[in-house]
Chain A
């Protein structure tokens, strides 16, 4: 049982390059999220989606774009990478409904921007 899978797990970019992180979940979840994790900052929400074809901004959306063309996939794009985007990125999903639903996380994607 795969759960939430992120690719790639590691990537090094030069400033100004673009890339896409892919998140795939096999639990038929409606809600998907992209977080970034930085030392001392905890997890900050970048963008999220409440269903196929929908996206919305989180706390720190600048410099990122997302798409949810298929229910199981949530893509995070960096059009022009900057050193400030060096971070560990986590994708998560849940069913969204009810107060106690668990959030399921991928293993993370470590991005370094030189």
Chain B
């Protein structure tokens, strides 16, 4: 089946610390991988994505590399800010199968990040 496992939070860091949030996946075919972010009181928004092995997605200083050999897509940022405090969700979209609901995403449980000044 298709599933995503991400590290459980909460994660608490000081400003300018290095961030890693681990994400591993199980999928059929060749999935696309995503990180979504949810700021307090808001819906989810796409942070970055990667559609094939060895691709690196990046945005707002965050990066994640699609590692097919380890089935991982870990989120990293070199220097976090207070404004990065949010819940982060790893997600996958499975590879195309004829007749499938191509648009559907499978989400991890989310990791709460709190950054202190």
Contact = CB atoms under 8 A, between A and B. Distances in A.
Are the chains A and B members of one assembly? yes
Interface of A: 4, 30-31, 33, 35, 40-43, 45, 48, 50, 56, 90, 92, 94-103, 105-108
A31 B43 contact: no
Interface stretch (B11-19, B71-79, B107-115): B107-115
Which of A90, A99, A106 has the most chain B CB within a 10 Å cutoff?
A99
Interface of B: 32, 34, 36, 41-46, 49, 51, 89, 93, 95-96, 101-105, 107-110
Contact of A100 (B42, B49, B107): B49
Nearest 5 A/B pairs, CB to CB: A105-B43, A96-B103, A42-B109, A31-B103, A99-B32
A41 B109 contact: yes
7 contacts: A31-B104, A33-B104, A42-B108, A50-B101, A92-B44, A98-B102, A100-B49
Tell me the dominant secondary structure on chain B's binding face.
loop
B102 A108 contact: no
A100 B103 contact: no
A56 to B, nearest CB: 7
A45 to B, nearest CB: 7
Contacts of A4: 43
A101 B102 CA distance: 10
B50 to A, nearest CB: 9
Contacts of A95: 103
Contacts of B105: 103
Which of A33, A42, A92, A97 has the most chain B CB within a 10 Å cutoff?
A42
Contacts of B46: 102-103
Given A90-B43, A99-B32, A107-B43, A31 B93 contact: no
B115 to A, nearest CB: 21
B46 to A, nearest CB: 5
Contacts of A96: 101-103
A51 B108 CA distance: 26
Contact of B103 (A35, A94, A107): A94
Contacts of B102: 96-99
Which of B51, B103, B108 has the most chain A CB within a 10 Å cutoff?
B103
